[in-house]
Amino acid sequence: MVVLSELSVSEGSSSSSSAQTHRYDIFLSFRGVDTRHNFTNHLYNALMHANITTFLDDEEIETGEDLKPELESAIKASRASIIVLSKNYATSTWCLDELVLILEQRMTSNHIVIPIFYHVEPTHVRKQEGSFGDAMAKHRQKMEAESNLNKRNQWAEKIELWNKALREVADLKGKDANGRLEVEFINEIVKDIFRRLHISSRFPLPQLIGMEVSISFLTSWLKDASSPTTDIVTILGIGGIGKTSLAKYVYALHSHEFDRSSCIIDISRRCDKKYNGMIDVQKQLYADISKPSSVVQVHDVSIYTSMIEKVLANKKVFLVLDDIGSLDQLDALVGSKGFRPGSKILITTKDAWLTQSCSLFKMKIKPKYAEHKLEGLSTTESQKLLCFHAFMCNNPKPGYEEVSENLVNYCEGHPMALEILGRSLHNREVTYWEGYIDKLKKENDSPINNVLRMSIDSLASESDKNLFKYIACIFIGMDRDVTRTILEACDIETKTGITNLIDKCLLSVGDTNELMMHQLVQEMGRFLVREESLYKPWERSRLWGHESFRVLKQEKGTENVLGLTLDMRMLEKEKLHGSLELKTDSLSKMDRLMLLQLNYVQISGSYKKFPEELRWLCMHGFPLKYIPSDLSMENLVALDMSYSNIESLEIFHSYPQRLHKRLKQMIGSCSKDKRLLGVEEKVLHRLGWTKLDFLNGRHVTTSSTYGESEESEIQMYYEFGIFSTIYGGEEMPNWIIDRSMGPSISFTISSSTNKLTGLNFCCVLASPFPDEGIELVDDVLLDLPVIKICNITKNLTWIYQHYVDSVLDIGGKCLTLLSHWMFGMNEMECGDHVTIMVMWEPDDIGDAVIKECGVGFVYDDGNMDEKQDVLGYYKSWNHIIGRDLTGFQTTTGEYILNKDRILWPALDIVRLNYYYLCGEGAHFIDNDFYFKALS
């Protein structure tokens, strides 16, 4: 498995006003006096919380005023409208005007309309009875009282439109609030919006290689509601194999299907990083699943666990708990009380024993459990990944075939190693590759360490390598800008260095600007420092953990030490013998020490012993009530004393100028009564998870992305510049955004800075013989439909009959047909209005039912919908459409793309059964057609 890219798919729409289409997902139409402060307000908050962009007008308009222009624009700029039909809805001419405009949008631009019958009867809306009848009667009275003939006629026209609109909206499939709990009713509406607008596909999803079976397994597991208990799956595998990426992928696709969901990444690292790391993780989980209205201050793990258990017992949840490293972590997060039936827990860990040993499995009714182990990539997948990063394509460049194969074999399918090596060898000569491989083979360590070591060695300068060691040993989890300030004060170049490390896939920056590094990469960096002196840690340049304690305890520090970190609370789990108190004398020989962290350390002696070269001093839990006056701060640029007992900053005026400028933002102090947040605490409390920085790149799709089922075969073929795929299943690929129920779709191509080169068309075919327990004696063949694409703007029409005439009906289930069309110059452009129809020849008897159609666009930068190009690797093939198709063109202008025209050139329109799709009297223009059209 590996991630090629993380892409955010644009929603797309077929609205003619494409420039405004994506401003809102939902337009809310409602009567303010009825629902503004109750149902509509609650619905609006739920939609916005679910990341569904919603327009709600906060101003009331007096009866008789015209609809505001901004409301008209908002309706046209929305993908769908929710109409809350309440008791007094029809009393507002403004609401009725909105209704008319919304229904017009539905007819002209596939605008989705969802009526909500809020304690009113649909029949009263349809027939204008009850409160709706009273309201319309008052409007007619106003019309009849109008003495101005023109205004009277305007009233009459409007009333006619309003009557028609009310009848039409009442006939739409809507949702009835009568007898429903409001919270459940609103959740149902939100889920329906997710489904109908495909909102989940807009979230960034990593595009995975080699994960088809895993994605299919987890998708089936998530959709299986048969388990009466908690349902748990553990994903197992070594570090860097793709556990986290897989978990994030399925979470992004399915989290909205549950009452509550939470995805917590890199739990072990976050818990090990600092003393109260577990509370931070619990805080995130509780906030995700309970949606508290106010901040909850809890400082005890067991109390948080109890709070979490109460929520989990009452909500159907989906939890992703990534990188669980101990039973304590798992018990603290899921407790021992059990979950509401239907809940799903996805755990990733390197320990196969761990999950079933937690408290949940000690209950009388044990959870349903399964394990899913991830293996390395296959040879084909490994080569695709390596080539993507090394050559930005799917196959080796000419001359690189052998060296690529050798490197793939050496990495043994480890995706992280392949990715890092591919980046390191990008744009390198073949001889450089050969030397690189030879060097790898001479190493004696594990293959993963070899790969990481070679990637580090590929850094252009010793400065970058030095920076890498500092970050790996000391600064992971710290704010990028703070780290730069500290290291630049140590004369370490960071502006280009951090960028170089990110480019080499050795470092990444989180959403809140924190530095992150894959655990294997970090361990490799620390291993390089250990190599400076394997058996004498005091001779190394950087020290951390228990080795720092030993060096200080034995007072063996030397001038070689440049950075030292020690957190005594992190060492409490280790068996430390003797007194834990240290002396300041242990620092006296470290003349070059510039970076020092002594968290919760008991230290005695004169602070004059602290090195004068210190640039960064971090002492969480500092025991004194003041900063010692004999502590040298001449060179400090960052001082962090969070969680300390400091009560006075009386020597502030004596600080050197450069520390003085930064002190307020860099110092955090803690008294007995009040804690002031400093930079370190501010950074650590928002630490997310450590991950590999998944590189942006071209989107590549495998057959499973199309929903391949185990009982059907995928058929693929290419003709006339059209690449087609047929497979079993009723779910369209999630990147197909523009959709329409039924056998046709109409849309306007969205504007773009890039040139449109093709489109992807998809339709779902339902069998005419649905499986209702009736066994068919003979196999049933389904005839494939004809696809007719019309560029109305340019008066161009293509009519395409597939190479495959029919396919086997698979037990009454659905088939999905996907075709990728590549067009010639100027045949399809932004702003063109296009329709696509799916139909059968008149004599077909195996007609399937078209359930749904959808379309996506391909642009010349290799992206579909300006983001993805699902079949981009076929763009190097000849573009047949747009070349010499004169042999396929009719006298009325259509292009009939049919293989029989090639096999039997003398066939005309009627004999090919396309007369019903062409203009009157249509014939082929070129009666002497031969194979030149495909040359």
Residues designated as active site? 98
At position 857, the amino acid (one-letter code) is F
Bridge pairing between strands 317-321 and 781-783: unpaired
Torsional sign, CA 285, 472, 557, 645: negative
Torsional sign, CA 64, 66, 68, 73: positive
Contacts of 898 (CB under 8 A, 6+ apart): 800, 801, 888, 912, 914
Find the radius of gyration of the CA atoms of the chain: 33
Contacts of 853 (CB under 8 A, 6+ apart): 739, 740, 742, 743, 744, 745, 761, 762, 763, 836, 838
Matching residue, tokens 């090596």: 421
At position 73, the amino acid (one-letter code) is S
- Asked if 433 contacts 439 with a C-beta cutoff of 8 angstroms, the reply is no
Q: Which two tokens stand for residue 47?
A: 């939609």
Q: Which two tokens stand for residue 311?
A: 């929520």
Task: Please compute, for residue 34, the number of CA atoms within 13 A of its CA located in the half-sphere on the CB side.
Answer: 19
- Asked if 771 contacts 813 with a C-beta cutoff of 8 angstroms, the reply is yes
Phi-psi sector, 338: left (phi>0), alpha (psi -120 to 50), beta:
left
Percent of residues in the chain assigned helix, strand, coil, to nearest 5: 40, 20, 45
Q: How far apart are CA 492 and CA 471, in angstroms?
A: 11
- The alpha-helical segments, DSSP class H, found in 172-242 are 182-197, 212-223
Q: How far apart are CA 725 and CA 717, in angstroms?
A: 7
C-alpha separations of 846 from 416, 741, 766, 841, 842 in Å: 49, 21, 11, 10, 11
- Asked if 120 contacts 130 with a C-beta cutoff of 8 angstroms, the reply is yes
